[in-house]
Each structure stands twice: as C-alpha cells, then as structure tokens.
Structure 1
Amino acid sequence: MIEYLPRSKQHAELHLTQFGIEECIPGHFFGPAVRNHYLLHYVLSGEGVFEVGGSRYRLRKGQGFLIFPGVVTYYQADTANPWSYCWVGFNGTSAELLLKQAGLTKSSPIFLYDRDDMIYQYLQLMNESRGFHKARETRLTGLLYLLLSLLVEFGPVASPELKGTRTEIYVEEVKDFIEMNYPQKITIEDIAQFIGLNRSYLCSLFKQRMQISIQDYLIRYRINKACEMMGNAELSIADISRSVGYNDALLFSKMFKKVKGSAPKHYRAEIQAQIQNDSKNSIQQIEEEHLFYNGFVP
C-alpha cells in the first residue's frame, strides 16, 4: 500500500509527501538512488540492509532508517527473512530541526523504537484518513507530528553539537509563551513549568542567549504592546494597563517610565500630537496635489 500526496500550501513547516506499508519479497531492493524529500522507513518484521555514505547497516524489527534529500542510498530485503516496513515521506521548513531533536542526522541515520506499535498505528490512521475531506491534510500533518514526537521523546540524549539548537528552542518557547500570555498574571515559574525546565537553569539559558533576563523581557514586551495601544483614544490608561497584564495602574506607570523614560500620560500626549501633525500634513499634501492636477500650481 502506498499513497502519494500533493504539495501542501497550508502546512509549509511540515507536510507529508507519501506514506505506505510493504511486505517485501526476498531480495527486493531500491537504488542506488536519491530522493527529493525526507523518507523515513520503520521495520515491522524481518531483516534487511541499508547503505549510505560508505556505511552498511543491517536492520531488524523495531529499527528504522532515514533517507535525506539528495543523498545516494541503497536498501535491500534479506533473501531468507525479508523485511516488511512502513514509511513516511515528508518535507517542510521544520523537518530538519525535528529530526535533529530525534538524533537523526546524515552521519547518524538509524533509529530504534521497540517500545510498542504506535508508529504502525499512526500509519494505519493515515490510511484511514481518506474518510476526511475538508480536514484530511491537517489530520495527516497532525499524525506526522505525533509520529516524529515518538522519535524525539524516546530518541538518544542530545549530542553536544545540538546543545546550541536546544537552547534556541527553549528561548523561542519562552518568547512564544510570553507572546501568547502577556495579558495574564504570569510568573517566571509559570514559564519554567510550561517548558519543563528548572527555573534557574531556564533563566540562565535565556539571559546567555538574549543578553536580558526573562523578567525584563516580559516587562519590555508588555510595555511595547501598551505603546501600540496608546494611539487608540477609546482606551484609557487603565484599560491599556489591564490589557497588558498590570491590574495595578501605579505599577504599570512605574514600569512604563522605567522602560520608556516618561509617564504613560506624557508618552500618550506625544503620540497623539504626532498623529494630529501627521494628519494635518497628509491633508495639506492632498490639497496641494489637488491644486496641481487642476492647473493651480502655487
């Protein structure tokens, strides 16, 4: 069983290109050849060999191999005990990073997953998704994420070269959490618990990477959001304060002045004056253009 899928415009970060399950005949092989997408094979039973970059791997049930785009590979079923396997082909901007998190690289393309049959179950669910019409592509992408999450969760401990990558992931998770939750009364402890790291360790990673503490980043993010609201005359300073996570107006004023150098009311007055000035200039420009195009050049 094999199914090929069209190019995804909705899920550019990760999307399936094909998937399938096959019981190979003895000695069945493919290659040497290259692929234009990532192709992950998982052995369900039997044995076979996978060759890439001068290395030869003999694989059995519970093991798998990853083919990288543009890399020459060869694989063959055993003649006495041929393997059956399932596979998923995929691409996307997030694919390489997810695979690195799972410990899969060009120099280390083999993985082991012998805990249960969840990978096979996900392939079956992909096949059963034909009953979905409007949401099938989204469902398939979700199942691909679930499959890769198994390899990430139960893969090898991150190697030293991935330390920087993991730090970037944690930092982005902090920034995303703040972006989604800054209107709420959140603490650094809340962020650390969400990401699953020790508070002190996370703070150290973030400051090392961003040259600013998480607390200061949260404050600056909230104040910058408040500044974006200052041009809306329908919102009072108290409304803006509550909208960015400060129920205490005095604390908001204190933090605002610390970041922007002036009190919220003074900053707003400057913003509104600038808006009025820009509006006058715009009206004057329109009037001058009207005169020009009607032959009344001053």
Structure 2
Amino acid sequence: MLEYLPRSKQHAELHTTQFGIEECIPGHFFGPAVRSHYLLHYVLSGQGVFEVEGKRYYLKKGQGFLIFPEIITYYQADTSDPWTYCWVGFNGTSAELLLKQAGLTKASPIIHYDRDDMIYQYLQLMNESRVFHKARETRLTGLLYLLLSQLVEYGPVASPEVKETRAEIYVEQVKDFIEMNYPQSITVEDIAQYIGLNRSYLCSLFKERMSVSIQNYLIHYRINKACEMMGNAELSIADISRSVGYNDPLLFSKMFKKLKGSSPKNYRTEIQAQIQDDTQESMIQIEEEHLFYSYMPSSN
C-alpha cells in the first residue's frame, strides 16, 4: 500500500507527503539515493540494514530509521528474514524541531519504539482517511502530529540544546497566550494549565529568559494596549479598562499610574493634546507649502 499526496498549502508547518506499508521480498533494496523530504520507516517484522554517511545499522521489529532531505541513504531487507515496514513522508517548517525533540538528528537517525503498536495504528488511520473529502488533509496532519508525539514522549532524554529549544517554545507560548487572551480575566495558573507545565517551573523558566515575571509581563502588555486605545475619543476610560482585562476601573487606574507615572485621565489629556498639536502642525505645513507653490513663477 502506497499513497502520494499533493503539496500542502494549508499546513505549511507540517504536512504529510506520502505513506505506505510494504512486505519486502528477500534482499529488496533502495538506493543509494536522496529524498526531498523527511521519510520515516518503522519495522513491523523481520530485519534489514540501513546505511547513511558511512554508518551501517542493523534493524529489526520495534526499530526504524529516519531519512533526512538531500542525504544519500541505502537500505536493504534481510535475505532470509526480510522486513515488513510502514513509512510516512513529511515536510514543513516545524518538522526539524519536532524531530529534535524526539532525539532524531542526522547524527542519530535511528528510532527505538517497541512499547506498543501505535505507530502502525496511526499509519492505518492515515490509510482510512480516504473516506474524508473536505477534511482529509487536516486529518492527515493531525495523525502525523500524533505519531510524532509518541516518538517525542517516549524518545531519549533531550540533549541540552533541545531542552533550550523547548524553553524558548514555552516562552513564546506564554507570550502568544497573553496576546490572544489579555482582554479576559486570565491568571498565571491559567497560562500554566494551557501550556501543560507546573506553574512554578514555568514562572522560573519565563523569568530566566525574559528578566520579568509572567505576571508583570501581563500587566505591562495590558497597560501598553490601553495606551494604544487612549487616542480613541469614542472609548471611555472604563471602556478601555474592560478592553484590557480590568473589570475594576480603580485597579486599572492604580496599575496604569504605577507604570506610566500619571493617571489614565491625565495620560489621555496629554495624548489628545499631542494629537491636536500634531494636527495643527500638519495643517500649518500644508498651508505654507500651498502658499509657496502659489507664489512660484510659472515656466513656459
């Protein structure tokens, strides 16, 4: 069973390019050759050999190998006990990072997963996705994420480099969550639950990299958003307060003055005066340019 899929325009971060299952004949081989995408093979039974960059790996059931794009590889089924394997090809901007989280790199391309048959089940579900029409591409992407999540969860302990990468991802997730939900009554605990980390650990990690606590980052973000709204004369101070997640206008005024050095009312007066001055200055400049061009002699 083999199926090739068209290039995905909807899921640029991760998408399936092909998948299949093959019961190889004795000695069946492929390569040496290169691929234009990632190609993950998982051995269901039998055994064989995988060669890449001068290294040879003898593999059996519960193991597999990952082919990286543009890397020459060769693999061959055993002559007496040929392997049956399933595979999935994929690509996308998130692919390399997910594979690193699973401990799969060019220097370490071998998969060890013998706890259950989930990888095979996900391949089977990919095959069954043919019955979907409008949502098939999304379903395939979801199944690919699930498959890779198994390798990440039960893969080797992450290297320091990968741990650093994960920390950066968690920080970005905090910032993204705040950006999308700051108008709501969110707490640091809500953020930690969303990301799936212990609150204390997440706070420590965030402060280490951002030099500010999550709580203070949230407060600064809300107040800065409030400042952006101050120029809108149709919004009252109470409207702005509610729009940035403060249902209590007094608390909003207190936090605003603490960060900006003046009350929301005074800050707004200064902003509106500045807007008025800028408008008048622009009008004067336009009038002066008009007079200048009016007095310029015409050329024949």
Normalised by the length of structure 2, the TM-score is: 0.89
* Counterpart-to-counterpart distance in 2, 1:160 and 1:240: 44
SS in 1 for 2:212: coil
1:194 counterpart letter in structure 2: Y
Matched, 1:4 2:7: no
Quote the residue 1:153 is aligned against. 153
* Counterpart-to-counterpart distance in 1, 2:269 and 2:201: 42
Quote the residue 2:38 is aligned against. 38
- Which shows bigger deviation, 152-161 or 275-284? 275-284
SS in 1 for 2:96: helix
* Counterpart-to-counterpart distance in 2, 1:35 and 1:63: 21
- Which shows bigger deviation, 183-192 or 90-99? 183-192
Q: In terms of Rg, which structure is larger?
A: 2
Question: RMSD over aligned Cα, in angstroms?
Answer: 2.3
Q: CA deviation at 1:92?
A: 1.0
Quote the residue 2:80 is aligned against. 80
Q: CA deviation at 1:38?
A: 0.8
Q: CA deviation at 1:232?
A: 2.8
Quote the residue 2:183 is aligned against. 183
1:147 counterpart letter in structure 2: L
Q: CA deviation at 1:156?
A: 1.5
Quote the residue 1:228 is aligned against. 228
Change in Cα spacing, 1:191 to 1:34, as seen in structure 2 (3 Å) is same
2:233 counterpart letter in structure 1: A
Quote the residue 1:71 is aligned against. 71
SS in 1 for 2:140: helix
SS in 2 for 1:245: coil
* Counterpart-to-counterpart distance in 1, 2:186 and 2:121: 38
Note the alpha carbon deviations across 1:5-35, whole angstroms, 9 max, x for none.
Answer: 2222221111111111111111111111111
Quote the residue 1:209 is aligned against. 209
SS in 1 for 2:18: strand
Q: CA deviation at 1:281?
A: 6.0
SS in 1 for 2:203: helix
Change in Cα spacing, 1:138 to 1:273, as seen in structure 2 (3 Å) is farther
Quote the residue 2:200 is aligned against. 200
* Counterpart-to-counterpart distance in 2, 1:291 and 1:7: 60
**How does 1:123-138 map onto structure 2 within 5 Å?**
123-138=123-138
SS in 2 for 1:231: coil
Quote the residue 2:16 is aligned against. 16
Matched, 1:258 2:269: no
Q: CA deviation at 1:244?
A: 1.5
* Counterpart-to-counterpart distance in 1, 2:155 and 2:140: 22
Q: CA deviation at 1:148?
A: 0.9
* Counterpart-to-counterpart distance in 2, 1:209 and 1:10: 32
Q: CA deviation at 1:132?
A: 2.4
1:61 counterpart letter in structure 2: K
Quote the residue 2:29 is aligned against. 29
Q: CA deviation at 1:284?
A: 6.9
Q: CA deviation at 1:272?
A: 3.0
* Counterpart-to-counterpart distance in 1, 2:273 and 2:35: 60
* Counterpart-to-counterpart distance in 1, 2:285 and 2:34: 61
Change in Cα spacing, 1:143 to 1:280, as seen in structure 2 (3 Å) is farther
Q: CA deviation at 1:135?
A: 2.2
Tell me, which stretches of 5 or more residues in structure 1 are unaligned?
none
Note the alpha carbon deviations across 1:76-120, whole angstroms, 9 max, x for none.
Answer: 111111111111111111111111111111111111222222222
Change in Cα spacing, 1:114 to 1:243, as seen in structure 2 (3 Å) is same
* Counterpart-to-counterpart distance in 2, 1:2 and 1:276: 68
Q: CA deviation at 1:274?
A: 4.0
Matched, 1:51 2:62: no
Change in Cα spacing, 1:126 to 1:284, as seen in structure 2 (3 Å) is farther
1:154 counterpart letter in structure 2: Y
Change in Cα spacing, 1:266 to 1:73, as seen in structure 2 (3 Å) is same
Note the alpha carbon deviations across 1:187-244, whole angstroms, 9 max, x for none.
Answer: 2233233333333322221111111111111111111222232233332211221222
Change in Cα spacing, 1:143 to 1:279, as seen in structure 2 (3 Å) is farther
* Counterpart-to-counterpart distance in 1, 2:18 and 2:290: 60
- Which shows bigger deviation, 119-128 or 143-152? 119-128
* Counterpart-to-counterpart distance in 1, 2:283 and 2:131: 58
| Identity over aligned pairs, percent | 84
- Which shows bigger deviation, 209-218 or 169-178? 169-178
**Count of matched residue positions in the alignment of Structure 1 and Structure 2:** 296
SS in 1 for 2:64: strand
- Which shows bigger deviation, 104-113 or 226-235? 226-235
1:26 counterpart letter in structure 2: P
1:20 counterpart letter in structure 2: G
**How does 1:272-291 map onto structure 2 within 5 Å?**
272-277=272-277
